[in-house]
Amino acid sequence: MKTIKQSWAEPYKIKMVELLKMTTPKQRQIALEEAGYNTFLLKSEDVYIDLLTDSGTSAMSDRQWAGMMLGDEAYAGSSNFYHLEQVVQEVYGYKYLIPTHQGRGAENILSKILIKEGDIIPGNMYFTTTRLHQELAGGTFKDIIIDEAHDPENEFPFKGNIDMDKLDALIQEYGAERIPYVSMATSVNMAGGQPISMQNLKELRALTTKHGIRVIHDMTRVAENAYFIQQKEKGYEDKTIREIVKEINSYTDGATMSAKKDALVNIGGFLAVNDWDVFEEARNMVVVYEGLHTYGGLAGRDMEAMAIGIGESVNDDHIRARVGQVIYLGEKMMEYGIPIVKPIGGHGIFVDAKKFLPHISQDQFPAQTLAAEIYLDSGVRTMERGIVSAGRKANGENYYPKLELVRLTIPRRVYTQAHMDVIAESVARVYLRRKDIKGMKMVYEPKYLRFFQALFEKL
C-alpha cells in the first residue's frame, strides 16, 4: 500500500486580517532611494512581506488580546506585574523580576550594575545592543563561540556552543576577577539562529562555578533553542519544551529578555536574576531609566499580554509550527541553490551574501546591497547582518565579521506557507541576475548602531 505524506499545518486559525499594499518596481525604486537603500528606513506601508525582524512583529492570540482588557494601570503595584512575576518564576525559574520597556533596557541596567572599566565579557558571538551597552559601561566583549559558527556551510547541530578552551584561556589571561559574567545567548542571532546544547551549558556552568563567574543568559529566543535540543540532543526527545527551557535557565544566574520575540508581544522585556544584591540594585536603577519597579516602562496591559504569551511560547505545538515554517522556507531556498547558513536556525533564514555576491567586496556592503535588491524585486523587506551591523572598534576601524549575511526573519503566527513560497521565489530571481548587481557606498553614518539609520548610494 502506498504511504501518503503527512503534512503539518499551523496550530491556529485566523480571526482577523490586515490588508497589504501591493507596489510596482518603479514605486519600490523610489521608496528605496528615499530610504537611502537602508531597509530600516522604508515606510511600513511600502512593504509587502516584512521580514525585517521577528521583534515585536508577532501576532498575539485571542487570549492575549483578552488579557489586554484586564490591564491594571495603577502606577504602583499593578496586579499584572504580580501575574507576570509568577509566570516568570514558574516557567523560567528565576527568583526576581525587573520589567523593562524591552530587552535593551535590561541590558543597560545589567551592564551598569555588573561591569566596571577594563572588564572582559566573554560571549558566544556578539549582539549589537548587548555589546554596545557592555562597551559603554567600560567593558570589552570577547567572542568565545566555537569556530564552526563562523562557517555558513558547517552543519554541526549546535553552532551556538561556547568553546571552553577559549573561555579558559581568557580566565587565565585576565583573571576571573575581571570577568563579571559570561554573556550566553540561546539561539545565537548573529550566527544564524544557531542553538547551544544542554551538554555545553552544563560544561559552562561547571567551569564558571569553579572560578566564581556568573552566567547571564540572553534568553530572547530560548524556546526555539529548546526545540532544537528536543529534536537533536540525546536524552531530551521525550521532554517537553517547557521542561527543557527551565533546565536551560537552571544553569544560569540571571537573564535579559526581549519579550518581543519568544513571548509573542509587541513591546516589553525584563531582567530576571537569582542574586538578591543584584536584584536590589537593579530595582533601584530601573526607577531612574525605565519606571517604577512594578511596571518598568510598561502598561499593565502589556505585562498581562506578556504573561500569557510566555505560557503560549513554551507550548510544543506552537514551537513546532513556528520553527517548521522557518525550515520550510530554508529548504525551499536551498532547492533554488541559494547559499544560506546551515543548519537552518530557529527564527529566520540567513543568506550568505559573500557567496551570493562574491564579486562585491565587504567594504562595498554586499549584504546591505542584497537586502535592497530583494526589496526591489518583490517588496519583501529583509535586513543586513554583516559589516554594517558590526560597526566600528574604539579606534574607529571597521569590524570585519566573517559572516556577511542577509537575515529573513519570520514573525510568529503572521504569514502563511504561500508567503514563504513568494519569498523564496523572489530571492531566486535576484540570484539569477546576481552577476549584474553592483555594490554600495555609505554616505551617512550615525555614531551608534549605524545599521538602523545609515544611508547608502549605489556604485
Catalytic residue among 218, 253, 262, 352: 218
Q: Choose among 185, 107, 179, 99: nearest CA to 139.
A: 179
Rounded distance between C-alpha atoms, residue 320 and residue 230, angstroms: 11
Catalytic residue among 23, 39, 128, 252: 128
Q: Does the active-site annotation cover 451? A: yes
Q: Are 379 and 22 in contact (CB under 8 A)?
A: yes
Q: Is the peptide bond before 180 cis (omega within 30 degrees of 0)?
A: no
Catalytic residue among 43, 62, 63, 75: 75
Q: Are 386 and 407 in contact (CB under 8 A)?
A: no
Own/partner pairs for 206-209, CB < 8 Å, 24+ apart? 207/164, 207/167, 207/168, 208/182
Q: Does the active-site annotation cover 75? A: yes
Catalytic residue among 37, 48, 92, 127: 127
Q: Does the active-site annotation cover 128? A: yes
Catalytic residue among 239, 354, 385, 413: 385
Q: Does the active-site annotation cover 261? A: yes
Q: Are 166 and 144 in contact (CB under 8 A)?
A: yes
Catalytic residue among 261, 332, 381, 413: 261
Q: Does the active-site annotation cover 81? A: no
Q: Which residues are catalytic?
A: 75, 127-128, 218, 261, 385, 451
